[in-house]
Amino acid sequence: MEPNLEERGRAVISAMRGIPGISHLPVDELDAIPLGLLRRSATRLHAVCRYRKGVRKAEGVTPSDVRCIDVHPYALTEEWSRYADFLLYHEYLHALGISNHGRVFRELEALWPDEVARGMGEGFGVHLRERSARWLWVCPSCGDRHPRARRGNGRYRCRDCRVVLEDVET
Ligand SMILES: [Zn+2]
Ligand SMILES: [Zn+2]
């Protein structure tokens, strides 16, 4: 386990003890959940709460039903560390028994005190796609960049400038 990640997990759990809105949940049991990393190549998943085999979410989940929580390694860079804390908070909420993303979950999620971090998901997604893309289709006029797996070969134009996009290898 990444020492940095373990520390982060402890810090997030400690912050969670200070959130009155979740004091009815077994926050103290979260310490026992092992933390791990997603593959570097993951682009859609930012973090995940993996339950033990045979656990039925519909019957209610507690932290002891969780096998591990995995976080994207790029979220642990300095640039994204605030988002990593929020990801851990999000997955810990799943571990506390709220397994879906319904209204209750969203209300609890919004209790995380770092408002900026709560809004970083979209930017992190773009970051991951750019990192994994082999090509960028770049508008020479406005500089817009579109990460892609293939070359555009001059077939596409910028939506705003109508200029042909150029292929730049990453
Ligand atoms: Zn979730
Ligand atoms: Zn443009």
Is it the case that residue 1 has pLDDT exceeding 80? no
Q: Which residue has the higher pLDDT, 56 or 112?
A: 112
**In the chain, pLDDT over 70 holds for what percent of residues?**
98
Output the CA 165–ligand 1 centroid distance in Å: 36
Q: 37-53, pLDDT tens digit by residue?
A: 999 888 889 999 999 99
The CA 133 to ligand 2 mean position distance, Å, reads: 20
Domain ranges, ordered by start, for the chain: 3-125, 133-169
pLDDT at 135: 92
* CA neighbor of 46 nearest in space, from 151, 112, 102, 127: 127
% of residues, the chain, pLDDT over 90: 80
Q: What ligand has the least distance to the C-alpha of 144? A: 2
Closest ligand to C-alpha of residue 166 is 2
CATH number of 3-125: 3.30.2010
From the CA of 38, how far away is ligand 1's center (Å)? 15
